[in-house]
Amino acid sequence: MSGDASEGGVSPGPQGAFPSARERPTDDSRRGGRERLRGDAGQTRRIALAGQDIEYRLVRARRSSIGMEIGLSGLVVRAARWVTVRAIEEALAERAAWIVRTLAAWQARRREVLPREWKNGAPILYRGSELALVLHPARRRAVAADLFHLTVLHPSPHDEAQVAAFVGNWLKEEALAALVPRVAAFAARVAPTLPPTRLSNARSEWGSCNHKGEIRLNWRLVQLPPSLADYVVAHEVAHLVEMNHSRRFWALVETMFPGHAAARRALGEWTALLEA
């Protein structure tokens, strides 16, 4: 998988503009205690397009055009508060063919996050790329990734449950090995000590940071493009200093991870991976 989000902006048109980079951080902010990093909030709505019942998320944002993005998490529409739902639905109807086609393509990708069948050639997402599984019988178990393949050596390569469990553990080890040094690197800039870091298997969040300064990072971050995983780490480490989503928090994130707004938006495209 290329990992690039399908943007309304790929085809020309007024609604195709990218969402404004100055968009306000959305409102998962002042939730005391445990902080969650997840996709933008927004209102879920439905519309019939080309004879299909389509669900979309409507996010109100400061922008002049109606923006449409389709990614792993579905269709997201961004529009200013003053734009009526009717105007939004007219814009969606105009792009109905594109929306239905692109959603179908992403739904197909979504199924390919982890293999449905752990067999040769099955697609698996690793560091933002879709690799093909290659299974070989071997006495010693091992996993190796190259640009195109995830090669698995296993005594029982035809036992899908065993292969799935083995590769699942390997992904978690890879996640820890990749993420912990990034936590250390970011923390060295803002915190007096290295925060305790553990992996999570949460279905709803990429990462979290609690009041005790403990960081949890979702093992599925190893399936994202590394720059997006890095943004999540920077975000959680910044919470060691600011346990909120205040302006000061986002300013700190920006110093740690310049251009964070684009990464934050891109991460939204991968949110469905958490549920896959």
Closest to Zn ion by CB, 37 vs 263, is: 37
The binder of Zn ion chosen from 7, 23, 35, 69 (CB under 5 A): 35
Quick one: angle between helices 96-110 and 85-94, nearest 10?
Answer: 80
Specify whether the CB–CB gap between 233 and 264 falls below 8 A.
no
User: Can you read off the two tokens belonging to residue 204?
Assistant: 């709803």
Q: Count how many residues are written for the chain.
A: 276
Instruction: Count other C-beta atoms under 10 Å from residue 21's C-beta.
Output: 10
What is the β-pairing status of strands 129-137 and 149-154?
A: parallel
| Cα 18–Cα 19–Cα 21 angle in degrees, nearest 5 | 110
The piece of 28-36, 38-46, 69-77, 151-159 that touches Zn ion (CB under 5 A) is 28-36
Exposure on the CB side of residue 100, measured as CA atoms within 13 A = 12
User: Can you read off the two tokens belonging to residue 167?
Assistant: 């590769």
DSSP letter at 28 equals -
The binder of Zn ion chosen from 3, 5, 15, 37 (CB under 5 A): 37
What's the min distance (Å) between Cβ of 44 and Zn ion? 22
The piece of 27-35, 76-84, 150-158, 194-202 that touches Zn ion (CB under 5 A) is 27-35
Closest to Zn ion by CB, 52 vs 210, is: 210
User: Can you read off the two tokens belonging to residue 171?
Assistant: 């992904």
Closest to Zn ion by CB, 37 vs 171, is: 37
The piece of 37-45, 63-71, 178-186, 256-264 that touches Zn ion (CB under 5 A) is 37-45
What's the min distance (Å) between Cβ of 87 and Zn ion? 32
Closest to Zn ion by CB, 26 vs 162, is: 26
Closest to Zn ion by CB, 83 vs 267, is: 267
The piece of 32-40, 97-105, 210-218, 219-227 that touches Zn ion (CB under 5 A) is 32-40
Residue 261 backbone phi and psi in degrees, to 5: -60, -40
What's the min distance (Å) between Cβ of 241 and Zn ion? 12
Alpha carbon distance 175, 10 (integer Å): 32
Query: Exposed/middle/buried for 90, CB within 10 Å: 0-12, 13-18, 19+?
Result: exposed
x/- site string to Zn ion, residues 53 to 92, per CB under 5 A?
A: ----------------------------------------
Closest to Zn ion by CB, 63 vs 264, is: 264
What's the min distance (Å) between Cβ of 38 and Zn ion? 9
Which residues contact Zn ion by CB under 5 A? Answer: 35, 37
